[in-house]
Amino acid sequence: MKGSERIRTDVLVVGSGIAGLSFALKAARYADVLVATKKERVESNTNYAQGGVAAVFDPGDSPDLHLSDTLVAGAGLCHLRAVEELVREGPERIRELIAWGVEFTRDEDRFALGREAGHSRRRILHAADLTGREIERALLAAVAAESRIRVLEDHVVWSLQTAHDPDSQRSRCSGALVLDVHGGSWIQVDARAVVLAAGGCAYLYRHTTNPAIATGDGIAMGYAAGAAVANLEFVQFHPTALFPAESRAQLISEAVRGEGAILRRLDGSTFMEDYHPAASLAPRDIVARAIDAEMKASGDPHVLLDLSTIPAERVAERFPYIRGVCLEEGIDIPADPIPVVPAAHYQCGGLLTDWDGRTSLAGLFAAGEIACTGVHGANRLASNSLLEAVVFSHRAAQRLRRDLVELTPLAEQEVPIPKIAQAGQDSNEVEGRIRSLMWEDVGIVRSDERLESARAELDRLSESPIARDGTGPGAFRARQIEFMRDVATLIVRSAQRRRESRGLHYTQSHPYRDNERFLRDTVLVR
């Protein structure tokens, strides 16, 4: 590996999705911002979001209704104050997105509001079925016009650095060691504050709607640096991914069921009414478990999503992307039903933050899917995640403006360049093992035995290093597998602590909710 260079900045932002970019745009009003992203800037989970952003814009809707829907989904673990901030600040943050150039679909002079599971009103703003792509387009254009933001693509944050702050007498995040993946050189970034907006970790599962970048790097490095993580056991499985769901499965948005599509067994019979009064539009955790149970009972490899209840013109206008994806597979919707299966979709837990995005490590903020703000509790309400990202990155940017006065630059320290081991376990094999064991043992239905077996295997995989070929991309790959292994272990440890079933965490060993012992977050600190 080549030598290292040094960059000094006010704020280092890790990740270029909605949380990182909207934070950067706000922070650039008062600070120099460096954004590091491990792939091209557009490659983020945001870019794949179909459904939309939930916010109160309908005259018949209210923040109180949005609040109560969010609390019901969260199964007792939402933090009330965080949800209050979300629903009350949400509409203003949406107007900011529009000012940055985001074009949401309109119905004449009003927003066309979609419906998704768990929402008692139509409140999903969307850009057809490519909402995330539209948001990412507009934010990247706004960032390009901003002179105080510099974006480094193909730069992976290897580790966070911490230092003793003589003023506060505590440890503080003081920057990061960054690898230029293609150039193969190291950059030591000294920053007064670091914002982790590096997304979630659903790629830890064999079947997922997420791209291969969703490996939980930020969660692993934040935890390693000393920040607390919370509620990692609550991994959300989206009920409807296009079958077969290998590697990254195509999402079939919940908005499709919001428009009236119905789940059926392969023989055409319906089943969701046996599980919940809202049938196909029941909360996501219930639908995913029901499909899993049906597939296990019948031995069928998938169920069907029947769109024949929706007029063809409506399907073409509302779901052009999904229609195109299905046509490529020879499925002509709405006439043909779509074969669907559940797939890992979203991490509701993450780095524990206060209402202003601060983690438990001074100088380190977190925003977006990577953060546990308390909004989602044990189960995220559909389309609340993009909203959470803009509301809490805004709050974090406001907070940092005040905190920056105290976060004075620390003395430069020499961080040793990591030694790159050549020998060790094969990275492809370890990745395959992690994704299989997470799917089989830490998935939709868990048990004490399965969690213990997953833990034992992860411990074995931690005994020796992952082989690296010494070049930039080879080292990056090995590092990413280490992050995956570390986050998988944190998820299993969190799931083992919650000896009850609640929201997204369902275990056959403890199938009931236990409010006496577990009406609380699962917090882990190194």
| Structure-block tokens of residue 136 | 């990412």
> Is residue 254 involved in binding ligand SIN (CB under 6 A)?
yes
Q: Which stretch binds ligand SIN (CB under 6 A): 301-309, 380-388, 390-398, 414-422?
A: 380-388
Most distant CA pair in the chain: distance in Å?
69
Q: Which is nearer to ligand SIN, 174 or 240 (CB)?
A: 240
Contact partners, residue 89, CB within 8 Å, separation at least 6: 391, 394, 395
Q: Which is nearer to ligand SIN, 9 or 47 (CB)?
A: 47
- Long-range pairs of 81-85 with CB within 8 A, sequence gap ≥ 24: 81/355, 81/374, 82/355, 82/373, 82/374, 82/375, 83/374, 83/375, 85/355, 85/391, 85/392, 85/395
Query: How is 461-488 classified by DSSP, letter by letter?
Result: HTSSPBP--SSHHHHHHHHHHHHHHHHH
Q: Which is nearer to ligand SIN, 114 or 175 (CB)?
A: 114
- What number of chain residues touch ligand SIN (CB under 6 A)? 10
- Contact by Cβ (8 Å): 462, 492: no
Phi/psi at 228 (5° precision): -75, 145
Helix, strand, coil shares, percent, the chain, to 5: 35, 20, 45
| Structure-block tokens of residue 293 | 């149970």
Dist. CA 417–CA 466, nearest whole Å = 17
Q: Which is nearer to ligand SIN, 35 or 252 (CB)?
A: 252
Interaction mask 456-485, ligand SIN, x per CB under 6 A: ------------------------------
Query: How is 382-441 classified by DSSP, letter by letter?
Result: TT-HHHHHHHHHHHHHHHHHHHTTT-PPPPP-PPPPPP---SSB-HHHHHHHHHHHHHHH
Q: Which of 149, 382, 387, 481 binds ligand SIN (CB under 6 A)?
A: 382
- Contact by Cβ (8 Å): 480, 158: no
Q: Which stretch binds ligand SIN (CB under 6 A): 252-260, 313-321, 355-363, 423-431?
A: 252-260
> Is residue 383 involved in binding ligand SIN (CB under 6 A)?
yes
Mode of pairing for the β-strands spanning 303-306 and 262-264: antiparallel
Annotated catalytic residues are 284
Q: Which is nearer to ligand SIN, 200 or 374 (CB)?
A: 200
* Three-point CA angle 453, 458, 460, nearest 5°: 95
Dist. CA 2–CA 179, nearest whole Å = 10
Q: Which stretch binds ligand SIN (CB under 6 A): 38-46, 176-184, 296-304, 379-387?
A: 379-387
- The least CB distance from residue 5 to ligand SIN, in Å, is 39
Interaction mask 45-84, ligand SIN, x per CB under 6 A: -----xx---------------------------------
Q: Which residue is nearest to ligand SIN (CB)?
A: 51
Contact partners, residue 414, CB within 8 Å, separation at least 6: none
Q: Which of 231, 353, 385, 501 binds ligand SIN (CB under 6 A)?
A: 385
| Structure-block tokens of residue 174 | 């003081």
H-helix or E-strand spanning residue 222:
helix 217-225
- Contact by Cβ (8 Å): 146, 139: no
Residues between 312 and 351 that touch ligand SIN (CB under 6 A): 346
Q: Which stretch binds ligand SIN (CB under 6 A): 63-71, 148-156, 253-261, 489-497?
A: 253-261
Q: Which is nearer to ligand SIN, 124 or 458 (CB)?
A: 124
- The least CB distance from residue 451 to ligand SIN, in Å, is 25
Say if residue 151 is exposed, middle or buried (CB neighbours under 10 Å; 0-12, 13-18, 19+): buried
- The least CB distance from residue 253 to ligand SIN, in Å, is 3
Query: How is 110-156 classified by DSSP, letter by letter?
Result: EE--B--TT-SS--EE-STT-HHHHHHHHHHHHHHT-TTEEEETTEE
Q: Which is nearer to ligand SIN, 14 or 382 (CB)?
A: 382
> Is residue 255 involved in binding ligand SIN (CB under 6 A)?
yes
Closest CA to 44 of 89, 13, 12, 9: 13
Closest CA to 482 of 467, 504, 493: 467
- The least CB distance from residue 50 to ligand SIN, in Å, is 4
> Is residue 368 involved in binding ligand SIN (CB under 6 A)?
no
- The least CB distance from residue 346 to ligand SIN, in Å, is 6
Dist. CA 395–CA 290, nearest whole Å = 38
Q: Which of 9, 22, 47, 253 binds ligand SIN (CB under 6 A)?
A: 253
- The least CB distance from residue 151 to ligand SIN, in Å, is 26
- Contact by Cβ (8 Å): 348, 231: yes
Q: Which is nearer to ligand SIN, 303 or 434 (CB)?
A: 303
Q: Which is nearer to ligand SIN, 253 or 522 (CB)?
A: 253
> Is residue 229 involved in binding ligand SIN (CB under 6 A)?
no
- The least CB distance from residue 58 to ligand SIN, in Å, is 18
- The least CB distance from residue 287 to ligand SIN, in Å, is 11
Q: Which is nearer to ligand SIN, 126 or 172 (CB)?
A: 126
- The least CB distance from residue 209 to ligand SIN, in Å, is 8
- The least CB distance from residue 74 to ligand SIN, in Å, is 14
Q: Which stretch binds ligand SIN (CB under 6 A): 3-11, 16-24, 148-156, 382-390?
A: 382-390
Q: Which stretch binds ligand SIN (CB under 6 A): 246-254, 394-402, 436-444, 467-475?
A: 246-254
Q: Which stretch binds ligand SIN (CB under 6 A): 136-144, 156-164, 226-234, 248-256?
A: 248-256
Binding site for ligand SIN (CB under 6 A): 50-51, 251, 253-255, 346, 382-383, 385
